[in-house]
Structure 1
Amino acid sequence: MKKVKVLVVDDSAFMRKLIHDFLTESSRIEVIDTARNGEDAIKKIKQLKPDVVTMDIEMPILNGLEALKIIMKEHPVPIVMLSSTTYEGAENTIQAIQYGATDFIAKPSGAISLDLYKIKEEIIEKVLSASQANIKQLAKSPSNVKSTTISADNYSKIEPKEATLKTYVTSSNWNTTKKIVCIGTSTGGPRALQNVVTKLPSNLQAPVLVVQHMPPGFTKSLANRLNSFSEVEVKEAEDGEIVKNGTVYIAPGGFHLKVKHVGTSLAIHLDQSPARSGHRPSVDVMFESVSVIKDYLKIAVVMTGMGSDGSQGLIELKKHGAVKAIAESKETSIVFGMPKAAISTNLVDEVQNVERIAESILKYV
């Protein structure tokens, strides 16, 4: 089996050694070199052509963010960023993903994390996952300004790229019943969400629930960033709040996102019940919670991500009431695992490139 060649970039010699030793414990990984800062990293990427780079954000001479922009422009390669869990660290991490980083790892205790061993398996797993990333899609630079929202005239003419399930819902039902949109995503998700959420109009006649696999401390920064680009309101979900049309609720890291009836309204319910397949928040848990909500038509979306989270929840959704399911295409997914698993259930109604997912959502809403 061909090993994944990794370049480790960190200004701390201790951290370089620690990450090097962790990665070499995997028989599938070879650490080909280390670099002390962003400038050093750019030179070595040109020379060594690694399959994956791990890179600290906070470094002297040329920091991780500046180096990342240059690397993705000149020598695109999957990059896993290492970040602190401070507010500034979270903001920088979300920015790094927008610049093209494949994924990130939160250091347990600051720049020099003596307890990095706690996330050893996560480091190995994310490096191996990054080696499978769609580098052409990563190298595309998303705009830092709000995307053009879609008008009714535009989305009414859209035809699905691929349909795998007949509809049993009349158009009149879709037009008169309350709707809810639920989106699940993981690796590459922040960029995909920017592509979708920023195209939704402020008068969207449905609430939107989002599960993005992220640890605590990062989802609020993601919500704030998306909110600054969007016509819809985007916020980190709060336990007990009543959901409103035209608002996007992002599950906080470390909490499952569920919904429940409160009178004639729906309310957010957050809990820390056991992780599902290693994830909390979990897309499956959100989909299952939405599946038992009565008197709503549901639009379920599964986008880029490693693994299969969302596929079992989609099965539950389809068992209960009217559901339209959309999966992101292989062509635009950073990692095609989650959409592929959803498609394999044969319950997906449309497979769309990420640029057209908002159009598909609006067609049903």
Structure 2
Amino acid sequence: MNKINVLIVDDSAFMRKLISDFLKEDSRIEIVGTARNGLDALSKIKKLRPDVITMDVEMPEMNGIEALKRIMDEQPLPVVMLSSTTKEGAENTFAAMQHGAVDFIQKPSGSISMDLHIIKEEIVNKVLNASKANLKSLQKPINTQKTPTTKVLDYSKIEPSIRNSEKKLLCIGTSTGGPRALQQVLTRIPKDYNAPILIVQHMPPGFTKSLANRLDSLCDINVKEAENGEFLTAGTAYIAPGGFHLKVKRIGTSLAIHIDDSEIRNGHRPSVDVMFESVSNIKDVRKIAVIMTGMGADGSKGLKKLKETGQVFSIAESKETSIVFGMPKAAIETNLVDRVVPLDEIAETVLSLT
């Protein structure tokens, strides 16, 4: 079996050693070298030809963002960024995703994290998954304009009651590659969209609010981090806060957000399954379920529950555009997905149901 060759880039010798030691424990991974900054990394990429790069964001001489831009322009490779939890760190993380990073890892306690061992499994898993990433999708320019769709597609076979119902919920689940995918979809939803939008993006605490604010600045609809107890409003997207599950409850004739820190599911909190299962308990509301790029199988069990208990139209992102085809693939394998479409047709498909 061919091993995954990894280059580790960090200005801290301690962090380079720690990350190297963690990755070496997995027999599928080979550390081919380390670099102390972006410039050093660029020179070593040519010599060492790694399959995956782990890259610190904040480094002297050339930081991780600038190095990432050069890599994706000159010799595209899967890059996993390491970031701090500060506001600036979160903003840098989303800039990295914008420029083609596969995923990011949150350092537990700053640029030099003595407690990095607590996320050892996450580091290994994200490197392994990055090696399978769809580089063609990462290289495609991401939509940054507010562009309500004008494309007309043939959805005559869609159940009319779903297409015409006044009460709807749009539920979206995604993970690796999700911030890019969400931007592509949400910027194409017009501000008068007639349903609330619930979103689970696998992301740790400290990042989801920045993600929501960034998307809100780009979209015609409102995008915000979900708050416990707030009532759902059409034309607003609610992103589950990192570290908490996103659920829905009925209060009188209205629907409200319920946030809790109950048991982790599928290794995630928030979990797509938890959101879908909660929504399945809401009667007299038509649901549209969308599962996009991401590793693992989160969402497939919740989709089964949705289909058992209510009328749902389900959409999965195609393999051709998914950064990682894990979550959409698992959903498709349930045989409960109504449409499999490329990323740039998801918004059109959703809007055809209104």
TM-score using structure 2 length: 0.98
CA contact (8 A) 2:198 2:237 kept: yes
CA RMSD of aligned residues (A): 1.3
Change (3 A) 1:112 1:173: closer
3-state SS in 2 of match to 1:182: strand
Partner residue, 1:300: 289
CA contact (8 A) 1:53 1:79 kept: yes
2:153 to 138, 151, 158: 158
Q: Deviations over 1:300-329 (max 9, x none)?
A: 000000010000000000011210000000
Partner residue, 1:146: 145
Partner residue, 1:230: 219
CA contact (8 A) 1:100 1:141 kept: no
Q: Distance in 2 between matches of 1:85 and 1:215?
A: 9
Partner residue, 1:43: 43
Q: Distance in 2 between matches of 1:117 and 1:350?
A: 41
Letter in 2 for 1:149: P
Letter in 2 for 1:118: I
Q: Distance in 2 between matches of 1:335 and 1:210?
A: 18
3-state SS in 1 of match to 2:132: coil
Letter in 1 for 2:237: V
Q: Distance in 2 between matches of 1:45 and 1:120?
A: 24
Alignment size in residue pairs: 354
CA contact (8 A) 2:80 2:104 kept: yes
Partner residue, 2:278: 289
3-state SS in 2 of match to 1:357: helix
* Runs (5+) with no aligned partner, structure 1: none
- How far is 1:221 from its partner? 0.8
- How far is 1:65 from its partner? 0.6
- How far is 1:94 from its partner? 1.2
Alignment of 1:198-213 (within 5 A): 198-213=187-202
3-state SS in 1 of match to 2:352: helix
- How far is 1:176 from its partner? 3.5
Change (3 A) 1:283 1:355: same
Partner residue, 2:77: 77
3-state SS in 2 of match to 1:138: helix
- How far is 1:146 from its partner? 1.8
- How far is 1:149 from its partner? 1.0
Q: Spell out structure 1 runs of 4+ moving beyond 2 A.
A: none
Q: Distance in 1 between matches of 2:290 and 2:112?
A: 39
Q: Distance in 2 between matches of 1:159 and 1:9?
A: 48
Partner residue, 2:112: 112
- How far is 1:172 from its partner? 5.1
Q: Distance in 2 between matches of 1:43 and 1:361?
A: 45
Letter in 1 for 2:153: I
Q: Deviations over 1:143-180 (max 9, x none)?
A: 4x3241124xx3xx3136xx9xx86x4x2563143010
Q: Distance in 2 between matches of 1:32 and 1:20?
A: 10
Letter in 2 for 1:225: R
* Runs (5+) with no aligned partner, structure 2: none
Q: Distance in 2 between matches of 1:181 and 1:298?
A: 6
Identity level (%):
66
